[in-house]
A and B are shown apart, each in its own frame.
Chain A
Amino acid sequence: MISIFANPHRFMKLSRWLAPACLAVGVALIAWSVWQALWIVPQDDYQGGDIMRALFIHVPSAWLAMGSYMGLALASFVWFIWRHELADMAAKSVAPIGAGYTAMCLATGSIWGKPTWGTWWLWDDARMMSVLLMFFLFLGYMALRAAMDTRQKAARAGAILAMVGAVNVPLIKFSVDIWASIHQGPSVMRMDGPSMPAVYLTPLLIGALGHLIFFASLTMTLMRAEVWRRRGDVIMARKLAGG
């Protein structure tokens, strides 16, 4: 099944209309959820009044931050085993977007935390620590790729690092959870998913879906850019060779 998606020509043909289509749908869904969040949804005093409207950006970006690292590791694994070039392009493209969503999750969390918890940052909240570490894993991945002198080396080194990081993520999560539960009782920020009223849940889920589709569009666009860059390199190499 992978080999169907691994054909760059088919990918270019598909993504040519799928990337803009996803962009339109994603932006529309995000816009709807933001409109709901800012004007329709009643404010929740328990979560700090109007500031809880950050939820509708914060939670989807947290989900995508975690999901994108798993995507990075999966793409790296596929490339490492089967050497499908598209998988490497996917890994390379996911990293900056995932880092962006991770940064957005941290930023919105901080802005939300200031009025409700009274501080920009809590070192002893397990989730904040996990997301921060995720951010550093993304940074390390991008820095390593950038430091390598050839594309093949960047792909291999990146894949090894992403896989090492991925097997470490459960361990990091587990240890941070234990550490935070020792330092602090029940978490300040608790959200019981199913008990959340539908008036919050629907815009949240629609917004998350919108961000996911938007994420897919960005990834495809960066992958397309990478394909063009490699084609350009081939043309340059041919010119230099006097062809």
Chain B
Amino acid sequence: MSSPAPIRAAFRQAIAEAWAGGAGALLPIGFFAGAAMLVPFTVGSEADQLAAIGTGVLWVALALASLVSMERLFQADLEDGTLELWAQEDCPLFLVAAAKILAHWTVSGLPLVLLTPLIGLTLQLPAEQLLPAMLAYGLGGLAFFLWGGVAGALAASVPRGGLLIALLALPLFIPTAIFGALAAEPGTVGPNLLFLAATTLFALAIAPFAASAALRLAVD
């Protein structure tokens, strides 16, 4: 019987790292808010225009912000040998990878979702849209983090792999981004939200295994 200890350890460690100096968890938030703040300056500040593109802008900002910290997600564990120890445990590595990604989402993905109503309001989104939008951003952000985790695991042994991670992960974001943006359009929320949830479940089913295969490669 495999022990759940490494899974707990991975989860705890990812949470602790986020607050242990360097402002790890605050970085994506700052990036997210900063990217969204650029938009009124570049496309114009008319309320109608902002309301029309607001949800889409937040999706782009969310996708990019989810990639900001992916480079260090597994690289740090590889460098200090933690990854090697995890690979030797009898606990399946894909569970460790999943725990690590989910913990990372909790500290740097969930805050983004909680921030979306605030930024959404400044982008003139109608207030009644904000709650369903948060649900969509939460689901979609999880899928982004899962695919980003696969790319991060693949690039764990690559120095300065940040841009590589973006190139690998962004095409995999497309289905989630499409259904996420559609779910924000009034009138088509129901089915598109289900499709969005389906892309997240799909990522949840595949990404941990792919990430653990990539981590084994990084350890060898």
Contact = CB atoms under 8 A, between A and B. Distances in A.
Is chain B found bound to chain A in the same assembly? Answer: yes
Interface of A: 133, 136-137, 139-140, 143-144, 147-149, 153, 156-157, 160-161, 163-165, 167-168, 171-172, 174-176, 178-179, 182
Contact of B210 (A140, A148, A160, A174): A160
Contacts of B214: 157, 160
Interface centre among A137, A147, A172 (most CB of B within 10 A): A147
Nearest to A136: B171
A164 B210 contact: yes
B155 A144 contact: yes
Question: What is the interface of chain B mostly: helix, strand, loop, or mixed?
Answer: helix
The 7 closest A-B pairs by CB, nearest first: A175-B175, A175-B178, A147-B158, A140-B168, A156-B217, A179-B178, A136-B171
B202 interface: yes
B192 to A, nearest CB: 9
B179 A175 contact: yes
A153 B220 CA distance: 9
Contacts of A136: 167, 170-171
Contacts of B182: 178-179, 182
A153 B217 contact: yes
Given A144-B168, A160-B217, A167-B206, A153 B174 contact: no
A160 B150 CA distance: 9
Given A136-B170, A172-B171, 17 more contacts: A133-B171, A136-B171, A143-B167, A144-B154, A144-B155, A144-B168, A149-B157, A153-B157, A153-B220, A156-B213, A161-B168, A164-B172, A167-B206, A171-B175, A178-B178, A179-B182, A182-B188
